[in-house]
A = this chain, B = another copy of it.
């Protein structure tokens, strides 16, 4: 063990109990010693992404949450509606937190590991809501000079998702994108990326201030679902961009179907011959989030050349292969504090995550609100 490191440290755990409760708590875990190609990262910053909340909250009704324990070690307990689908995690205290950044404070013997000592790195792979994380040296993204752990906290999920959307567009033969919940951190990255890569992008937001924010970033097409002219605006933007691939973070309700119908209207607006099956242009919506957990409702006036499906970052990266992933990661490092800069509205310690004023806020998944966890901060 490197000099000055503690024997034990704190790690957040989420447990679904067999009697139908969610329990969030901080556990004491030993600080491991890296060997071979491993490094030990002191986690200094980790975001709360929508993709973390599934494991963290497990669908519990946080309106029922009570907090016990101490100031340093709060214990949150809440009711779960049902444990269906959760059988495999019952009574197993799961670590949480997909990504984060921090300082390499100890390293195994390999030269690659040793070379990282003292470096600030971005890491991914779960269990980041913790004070220390042991990872393989190859998993570390060395941050550019001057970048802080806070700068690098979100260097995987959102940047690689935005880049993955563009890769998917090119692979599947589309030439423009539609993005919903477009004012999110991810959406802002996508606006900057599409401008840089000259890819037409249609942004869908719910509020006029979100529209204004995206326009300051240079977004050309922004459609507001709250506007009375939303559907016509969307068709006009789709005619202008010929975008036939959408990434939808909401999932539920009628939005995916509205996008397909608007794409079909744009595609068939120049048709001269009647086809009872609609245009031959393939229109695709990938649902990559579940901000709206209500059913997806598709009113099928969009012909037969269409698809809706799930899209996830991890299978995309596995399919894309090491070379592509390496190229995407290098771009993230290069543009970490520009294209891929994230903004946070609040910082909390590990214990702070378990206080009602925090969890009642981050469980809302509100676009524009983003928490940063700082595991080294005082409780």
Contact = CB atoms under 8 A, between A and B. Distances in A.
B310 A274 contact: no
Interface stretch (A150-158, A162-170, A291-299, A361-369): A291-299
A4 B345 CA distance: 87
A346 interface: no
A308 interface: yes
A150 B274 CA distance: 30
B274 A94 contact: yes
Nearest to A302: B310
A276 interface: yes
A340 interface: no
A297 B297 contact: yes
A251 interface: yes
Given A55-B276, A272-B88, A274-B88, A300 B306 contact: no
A309 interface: yes
A54 interface: yes
Contact of A309 (B251, B252, B297, B308): B308
Contacts of A268: 85
Interface in A261-291: 268, 271-278, 280, 287-288, 290
B274 A92 contact: yes
A306 B298 contact: no
A118 interface: no
A308 B295 CA distance: 14
Interface in A178-203: none
Contacts of A85: 268, 278, 301
B308 A299 contact: no
Interface in A29-78: 54-55
Contacts of A251: 300
B298 A305 contact: no
A268 B89 CA distance: 13
A271 B55 contact: no
A377 to B, nearest CB: 27
A155 to B, nearest CB: 21
A356 interface: no
A69 to B, nearest CB: 25
A310 B315 CA distance: 23
B311 A304 contact: yes
Interface string A91-103: 0101000000000
A304 B287 CA distance: 8
A310 B305 contact: yes
Given A55-B276, A92-B274, A274-B86, A300 B309 contact: no
Given A89-B274, A305-B310, A315-B305, A290 B300 contact: yes
A55 B306 CA distance: 20
B305 A312 contact: yes
Closest CB pairs A-B (n = 5)? A307-B309, A304-B310, A89-B274, A88-B274, A54-B276
